[in-house]
Structure formats: structure tokens, C-alpha cells
Amino acid sequence: MENARIIVVDDEKMVTSAFRTLFAVEGIKGGAFFNSPKEALDYMQKEAPDLIISDFLMPEMNGLEFLREAKKLYPETSMILLTGYADKENAIQAINEIGLYKYIEKPWDNDDLLMNIRNGVERSHLLSNLREKITELEEAKKQLEIYSNDLERLVAERTHELSQANQKLSGIINHCADGIIILDKEGRIEQINPACENMTGLDTLAILNRTFTQIVKGCKQDMISDACGLFGLCADNSEILLKDCHIVNSLSGAHTPVEINLAAINDEEQTLPEKYVGVIRDVTSQKETERLRDDFIATLTHDLRTPLLAAIQTLKFFIDGSLGELDEKQKILLSTMLQSNEDLLGLVNALLEVYRFDSGRLELCKTIFAPKVLVEQCIEELMPLAKNKNINLEFECNFDEKLEICADRSELKRVITNLCGNAVNYTNKGGHIRVILKAQSGDLIFSVEDNGNGIPKNDIPQLFTRFSQGTSRKRSTGTGLGLYLSRQIIEAHGGKIWVESKINKGSEFTFLLTDVVKSDEERQVVNG
């Protein structure tokens, strides 16, 4: 209270002097003393008081009038009226009209006066703080009303946008020519579109809660029979493509060939996806087009073999002198023609092999033979090419000629020759190639390592596809069918083939044949 702003108004200087002395004794430094109420009002225009003490009987303006004007300026400020005994009724009137805090009769008791002054100042501060809080609350209420109105508007707009988006999405799903299916994490069907209903011959109610594997048949992927494995792979790779599938129509019995893009529906708050979406595309027309194309290629290449063989044999007759002596230039020209025709025959034979594999007409002729001897023969055939490029070609084998396997010898020779030949072709002069043959737990593992230029990571997925020629850095002049046929042969044996490569460090091609190594007892039975 020492620095409280207290205004004292009394027309008698003796009274204001007494207050001045009292404030000085009590250490109150914020007092302002006036003998004129009008001067006090002028002062209050600039300074806000914490407490107003006013006499009642004053010549210019009585205390009731003065306090009424002060109340207009500072409604929260506490006011004390000084009055004589005879003016009690006026004091009570001031309390009722103005909201007077206190009236004190003259002469007053200093202790009682100081207590009322202290309480009055504290009351003023409390009322002032209350008013500020009320003002803040009113402002907050206004802002809340504005925010509430904006929120309602935003919610309405967003609801409208979501409704439109949902209508568009529903229209796309319902009118999409491809089947769309929603699955839970266990592989059970939760939702399908009309196109999927047409493919299966089942309506939504009949197909719900069936599993994915109950309507999708014939996938080559092993994990199709295991929903957890399939969806685990889908979650890791975001999206997988299932080929060579078909859907059986329960009404017509028709088998519809399809390809399925399966993807996880990811939720940022969930570690593992809870739902999956599949897009099922009918590839009947595509399969028919491929069949007609392959039949055309097969027919064409088959019919080309006879005239090519005739041309090759005729050129050989000329070159070996059977049809007369030739000079050196003629021999060179005819030898070039012979090589070109043999290359063309090789392409024709490769295309026919591709057709055999793709049409499922390949029949493996498995026999019992020693794989080490086969690899040594392949290396011996390629050794002149390696020496011509000064390439060090090594062969490592962890077993002897007694170990035998059951497989198609001629087809495996095609694979081994192709992998080793590629290594020689793509290894720089003075390079190094290592051929490794291993047998363990009934499996045969064959690898070819080179220190060539390596294969870019982006090219590796296309290496074992049809007409893939080398890499984007270096293209071969071959048919682009060698690695494709190698993959088909190894997979026909139930094996796997893959490649690991690093730029400027080299490549390693490997294939694995499982359960092909024969025991001594098995070989005795076959030989017997």
C-alpha cells in the first residue's frame, strides 16, 4: 500500500494537512491532496486512483456529486465518504446510489481509518483485476465464437469435398473394367466391385469372407497358398504382380486368365498393414495375341530351317573344293556367307527353343552323368576364345568324376556354355574368370565369376528376360535369348538362377539344382 495512489478531497486545508501527516507517518507515498473537487477531477483525467477519500459538505460540489463523477471515470475504484454524524442519511444515500465502499464519521479513529484505507485499496485492485479477467474472457468468447463459426464452415466444406471425392471414387470403382478386391490381413475378402462379381459369377454377399486363394487359382508363386507369406512380401515391396493366374466362374465354369497387382493399404500409425487392395485384369485377349504371335514365329522359324540348311551345305561344298577349285578371295567371300547363314540358323534355333519353353512343350530328357566332366568339356570348347583375349580361365570343383547327377545333360550344357561364353565376351583382355562347381546336401551349385566391367543395378532385373542384350552400358550383338533360355532350363529342373554384380569389379552368375546328386545305391539301380 506504500505506493498506492490515494486522492483526498476536502475543502478544509486542516483536514488535508492531517491526511498528509498521517500518510507521511505511515509511509504512504502515493497520496494526492485537493481542497477543490474540480481540481481533483482534472487530476483524475490523467491519473487513475486506487482509492478516493472525499468530504461531503464542500462549497463547489458536494461529496455525493463529486463521487458520482469520479465513478463515471473509474467504476472499480473504492470510495470513502467523510461525513459528520448529522449526515448519515446522505452517506447511506451515497452507498445506495453510487456503490460507496465506506463512510467514516468525523472525527475518525486513525487505526480504523488506516484499516479502511488498506482494505479499500485492496478492493480496488481486486475489482480492477476482475474487470481485466472479465474483459479477457469476453474477448476469448468472441474469438471462440469466430473459431466455432469458421470450424463449422470448414467442416461443412471438407465434408462436401469428401462426399464428392467418395462419389468419384465409387464411380471409378463401380465402372472400372478391372476387378477390384479389398482383403484383410488374413486374406479374407471384404469388398469387391461389379467387374470382380462378373469374373467370379458370385455376388458380394456370396463372396464375402472367402479367402483370396479360394477365387484365385494357378499362380506359379509358391506363396500364393500362404496368405501370410504373400502379404508379407507385399508389405515389404509395397506392390507385387501375380501372373499366370486364373479365376473360375462359378456359373459358367469359364477359366479367365488374369494378372493381379496386389498392394498394401498403409496407415502411418500402423507398423504392419491391416488391409490390401488387388486390381484384377482380364488378360484373355493378351494371351490370345501372344499365342498367335508365338505360333507365327514358330511356324516361320521352322520353315526357315530347311532353306538355311540347304544354303549352308551348298556353301560348304564350294569351300571344301567339291565343286571345283576356288581362289583365296572366293574362299574368304564364301566363308563370310557361310558364317552369316550359320548365325541366322542359330537365331532360328534359339527362337524355336523359346517357343518350346513358352508353350510348355519342353520335355526334359534326364540321364545320369558326371557334371564335372560336362563342365570340363564346355571349358575346353571355350578355351581358344579365352586365350585369344589372354584371359585366365580357371576351374574349381570340390568333388571328383565319380559324383553323378540326374538331369538333362544337353540342356545343362547349353546353360553352362552360355554363362561361360558371356563371361569371356564381357571380360576385358588380360582378365580373370573362375568357374566353380560344388555339391552339398544333394544339391549342385554352379558359378561363373569374372572381373569384367560389371552390370548396372538397374539392368539386373531385365537380364533373364527375352531379347535382353547385355546392359545399358554395353550391348551384345547376340539374340538376347541366351539368359532367358538358361533361366527357363534351370527352372524346368526345379532350380534357381541369379546374378550378383558390382560396377568395375565384375559379375557372378550362379544356378542351383536341388536334390539332383545321386547316391551310390541309386546309380547301381540305374546301371543294373
Residue 249 sits in a domain whose CATH number is 3.30.450.20
> For residue 235, what pLDDT is reported?
52
pLDDT tens sequence across 20-31: 898 888 888 888
Mean pLDDT, each 10-residue run in order, the chain (528 residues): 84 90 86 92 91 87 88 89 70 73 82 87 86 88 87 88 85 84 85 88 84 77 46 59 84 86 74 80 84 73 76 84 82 87 78 67 82 94 91 91 91 92 89 93 93 84 68 51 86 91 90 85 44
419, 447 in Cβ contact below 8 A?
no
* Residue of 85, 80, 109 whose CA lies nearest to 10: 80
380 and 517 housed in the same domain = yes
Domain-located, residue 431 = yes
CB 205 within 8 A of CB 233: no
Q: How far apart are CA 177 and CA 258, in angstroms?
A: 13
Q: In what order do the strands lie in the sheet with 432-440?
A: 392-397, 432-440, 443-450, 506-513, 496-502
CATH number at residue 124: 3.40.50.2300
140 assigned to some structural domain: no
pTM above 0.75, yes or no: no
The DSSP result for 294-347, as a single string, is: HHHHHHHHHHHHHHHHHHHHHHHHHHTTTT----HHHHHHHHHHHHHHHHHHHH
Same domain for 262 and 317? no
Q: Are residues 84 and 125 in the same domain?
A: yes
Cα dihedral 407, 410, 415, 419 in deg (nearest 10): 120
For the chain, how many residues are written? 528
Residue after which a domain boundary falls, among 282, 315, 341: 282
> Is 407 found in the same domain as 511?
yes
Q: Which residue has the cell 583382355?
A: 429
Q: 429-468: string of b/e by CB count within 10 Å (b at 16+)?
A: eebebbbbbebeeeebbbbbbbbbbbbeeeeeeebbebeb
Asked, for residue 118, whether it belongs to a domain, the answer is yes
Same-domain check for residues 375 and 474: yes
CA–CA separation, 489 vs 350, rounded Å? 13
Q: What are phi and psi of 262, to 5 degrees?
A: -115, 130
Together in a domain, 252 and 318? no
Any domain includes 146:
no
* 434: containing domain: 367-524
Per-residue model confidence (pLDDT) at position 222: 42
Same domain, 515 and 471: yes
Q: How far apart are CA 153 and CA 145, in angstroms?
A: 12
pLDDT cut 90: percent of the chain above it: 19
Distances from the Cα of 115 to the Cα of 109, 162, 261, 486, angstroms: 10, 68, 87, 108
> Cα(298)–Cα(356) distance, rounded to whole angstroms?
9
* Triad 267, 268, 272: Cα angle to 5°: 60
Residue 410 and residue 477 in one domain: yes
Name the domain boundary from 265, 282, 299: 282
pLDDT tens digit sequence for 36-71: 999 999 999 988 899 999 988 888 888 888 888 998
43, part of any domain: yes
Does some domain include residue 145? no
- 340 and 204 together in one domain: no
- The answer to whether position 149 is within a domain reads no
48: amino acid identity, one letter:
A
User: Any idea what the CATH number is for the domain that residue 436 is in?
Assistant: 3.30.565.10
3-class SS string, 133-178: HHHHHHHHHHHHHHHHHHHHHHHHHHHHHHHHHHHHHHHHHHHCCC
Total tally of structural domains belonging to the chain: 4
Q: Domain check: are 122 and 65 in the same one? A: yes
Distance, CA of 484 to CA of 65 (rounded, Å): 110
Domain co-membership, 378 together with 511: yes
- φ/ψ of 181, rounded to 5, equals -135, 135
Inter-residue contact 496 to 511 (CB < 8 Å): yes
Instruction: Name the domain boundary from 335, 358, 381.
Output: 358
Instruction: Flag whether 135 is in a domain.
Output: no
Residue 90 and residue 188 in one domain: no
Q: What is the pLDDT of residue 40?
A: 92
